[in-house]
């Protein structure tokens, strides 16, 4: 069986890019990659350059080219990749589960366009990440902010990035996600209480997404929220961390830039969101 010809457009620290890299590794597909310097992290802002907008007019990563066809958005990319047979016979859509159900969970665990922020586990992650995002945006030169203002095709992103550059909206934003986050975590803890290994009986698209969700919690100093208070999730997360795709698709992409950023950010990181989440878990569990 010959492998498809794949080029991935991604960013090292992008949550949705991590998902696609993990899925590609699990499927065993070799791929070429093109790193895009995102406008919220790098002065170059390559995702809003003409060349990249010709690939994804929304200006977001990931996008992928499979045998000449471009697909954008993590959920659709992984869904389409899974339709291609792989030499290792890995299927991220288990046969015994209804496809619509898997797609619903996949959509709820990534950043789905058009879904209200903080309403699903996937859209809660950017809300929790907003202090870090704001920290990065404040370091951009004024010329990069002007480029975002003039060229970003998504009005919602443009407005929030500019608000972050000028003010401090991220002081309150993470608190908007706490209620729904705790409900989602408790839902997962109940599900995993039956001792299952993965979300379904075999490793699937949902496990790919949850691996990235939990990894983001680590970056944000929130890993304690999936630890001793939720022992079934804790065990599941340990299992996800032991996969090669976690190391090769996520951890290996942390460059000095990301490491420096995270360590600097932590020096001033206040833990009030963590405290509020842990208190809510105690109340609701």
Ligand X SMILES: N[C@@H](CCC(=O)N[C@@H](CS)C(=O)NCC(=O)O)C(=O)O
**Does residue 47 sit in helix, strand or coil?**
helix
60 binds ligand X (CB under 6 A): yes
**Is there a contact between 204 and 92 (Cβ–Cβ < 8 Å)?**
yes
47 binds ligand X (CB under 6 A): yes
Taking residue 199's Cβ as centre, other Cβ atoms within 10 Å add up to 23
User: Among 6, 24, 38, 206, which residue sits at the site for ligand X (rule: CB under 6 A)?
Assistant: 38
40 binds ligand X (CB under 6 A): yes
Size of the site for ligand X (CB under 6 A): 19
User: Among 6, 22, 23, 39, which residue sits at the site for ligand X (rule: CB under 6 A)?
Assistant: 39
Nearer to ligand X, 114 or 195 (CB): 114
Taking residue 114's Cβ as centre, other Cβ atoms within 10 Å add up to 4
Tell me the β-bridge partners of 32.
7
DSSP alpha helices (H): ranges in the chain?
Answer: 15-27, 50-53, 74-82, 99-108, 121-138, 142-151, 155-166, 178-192, 205-219, 231-241, 244-249, 256-267, 272-284
61 binds ligand X (CB under 6 A): yes
Q: How far is the CB of 148 from ligand X (least distance, A)?
A: 8
In this chain, which residue has its C-beta nearest to ligand X? 60
| Token reading at 271 | 């833990």
Q: How far is the CB of 232 from ligand X (least distance, A)?
A: 27
d(CA 16, CA 192): 24
34 binds ligand X (CB under 6 A): no
**Is there a contact between 285 and 186 (Cβ–Cβ < 8 Å)?**
yes
- Stated as kind and residue range, the H or E segment containing 285 is none
Nearer to ligand X, 154 or 229 (CB): 154
249 binds ligand X (CB under 6 A): no
| Token reading at 256 | 């000095």
User: Among 6, 8, 16, 206, which residue sits at the site for ligand X (rule: CB under 6 A)?
Assistant: 16
Residues 169-198 binding ligand X (CB under 6 A) are: none
245 binds ligand X (CB under 6 A): no
d(CA 180, CA 183): 5
210 binds ligand X (CB under 6 A): no
Q: Compose the 98-137 pattern: x for residues touching ligand X by CB under 6 A, - for all others.
A: ------------xxxx------------------------
Give the sheet arrangement for strand 6-10, strand by strand: 32-35, 6-10, 63-66, 69-72
Residues 141-170 binding ligand X (CB under 6 A) are: 157
Applying CB under 6 A, which residues contact ligand X?
Answer: 14-16, 38-40, 47, 59-62, 73-75, 110-113, 157
């Amino acid at each position: 069986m010959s492998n498809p010809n794949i080029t991935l457009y991604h960013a090292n620290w992008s949550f949705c890019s991590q998902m696609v890299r993990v899925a590609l590794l699990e499927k065993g597909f070799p791929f070429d990659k093109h790193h895009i310097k995102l406008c919220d992290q790098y002065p170059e802002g390559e995702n809003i350059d003409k060349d990249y907008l010709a690939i994804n007019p929304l200006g977001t990563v990931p996008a992928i080219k499979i045998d000449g066809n471009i697909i954008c958005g993590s959920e659709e990319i992984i869904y389409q990749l899974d339709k291609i047979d792989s030499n290792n016979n890995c299927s991220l859509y288990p046969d015994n589960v209804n496809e619509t159900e898997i797609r619903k969970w996949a959509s709820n665990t990534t950043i789905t366009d058009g879904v209200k922020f903080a309403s699903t586990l996937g859209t809660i992650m950017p809300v929790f990440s907003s202090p870090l995002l704001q920290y990065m945006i404040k370091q951009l030169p004024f010329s990069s902010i002007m480029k975002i203002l003039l060229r970003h095709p998504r009005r919602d992103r443009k407005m929030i990035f500019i608000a972050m550059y000028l003010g401090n909206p991220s002081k309150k934003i993470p608190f908007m996600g706490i209620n729904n986050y705790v409900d989602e975590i408790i839902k997962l803890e109940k599900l995993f209480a039956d001792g299952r290994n993965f979300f379904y009986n075999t490793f699937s698209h949902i496990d790919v997404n949850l691996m990235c969700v939990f990894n983001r919690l680590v970056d944000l100093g929130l890993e304690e929220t999936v630890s001793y208070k939720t022992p079934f999730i804790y065990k599941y997360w340990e299992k996800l961390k032991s996969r090669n795709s976690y190391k090769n698709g996520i951890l290996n992409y942390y460059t000095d830039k990301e490491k420096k950023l995270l360590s600097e950010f932590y020096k001033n990181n206040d833990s009030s969101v963590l405290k509020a989440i842990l208190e809510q878990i105690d109340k609701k569990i």
